[in-house]
Amino acid sequence: MNVIQPLIDLQDTDGQIRELEREARDIPQRKAQEIARLNGVNAALEIAKNQLAAMQQRIKSEESEGEEIRAKVRDLKTNQLNIKSNKEMQQSIMQIEGLERDAEAAENRALALTEDEIPVLERRVADAQAKVDSDKGGVDGYVAELDARLAEVKAELENLTKERAAKADAVSKSNPRFLLYYERQRTKRWPVVVTLNHDGVCDGCHMKQPPFVEQLVQHNKDLVACTMCGRILYRDL
Ligand SMILES: [Zn+2]
């Protein structure tokens, strides 16, 4: 057996732990991104609703402008009963004609907006609402999935932590110095234990090793470190 096989076993477990820890860190971020996206979809619906409401308000004000003018016309017509001179009557008729044109213009604007703008804005609200409805289910499902996965990851990590303790113990029992060296390297580079390939190159940093390093690895009696990066070298037997 390779003299550093227990270290390789330990490194396998550490590799799995690193991956799961990364996943556990990523999950809250992925959740936050999904929620932010949903907030954006909700905001789009709010905007569409506000645009529709603003248009309805505008139409209402055109309509009430028309009604006000029509009321004025009615008053003027009532007052005509009291008009004594022809000239005054002529003026009143002209004024009423002008006001009726204004009322009609306001009514036409209200009608045009109702026919042209309202259907477009209503469709926009409906589309945005549909998007909110479909995304809401999607996000809720996705978030639930992520929560479930996070629980799974945590459980796996708990098991692996126990497994790791046992493996570290095994290394320590056969050679405490190996474990110390490995633990120190682990904080700086990953992976720590790498193969020395058949060209005598470290698989970690890809530097060619001097012949004596290759010979030591070949002997397989002690821990041999890469002269460049310090990784522990071994050869697949
Ligand atoms: Zn190296």
Which residues are near ligand 1, the ion (C-beta closer than 5 Å)?
202, 204-205, 226, 228-229, 231
Q: What is the pLDDT of residue 221?
A: 87
Whether the link from the prior residue into 191 is cis, omega within 30° of 0, is: yes
Distance 144 CA to ligand 1 centre (A): 43
Cα 110 to Cα 161: distance, rounded to the nearest angstrom: 72
CATH fold of 19-170, please?
A: Helix Hairpins (1.10.287)
User: Which tens digits make up the pLDDT trace of 140-172?
Assistant: 888 999 999 999 999 999 999 999 999 999 999
Instruction: Give 89-108 as a 3 state SS string.
Output: HHHHHHHHHHHHHHHHHHHH
What is the band of 232 on the pLDDT scale with cuts at 50, 70, 90?
very high
pLDDT higher than threshold 80 for residue 187: yes
Distance 188 CA to ligand 1 centre (A): 13
Distance 118 CA to ligand 1 centre (A): 70
Structure tokens at 112: 């045009």
Structure tokens at 166: 């046992």
Each residue of 49-66: b (16+ CB within 10 Å) or e?
Answer: eeebeebbeebeebbebb
User: Which tens digits make up the pLDDT trace of 57-108?
Assistant: 999 999 999 999 999 999 999 999 999 999 999 999 999 999 999 999 999 9
Distance 207 CA to ligand 1 centre (A): 6
Distance 126 CA to ligand 1 centre (A): 61
Distance 200 CA to ligand 1 centre (A): 11
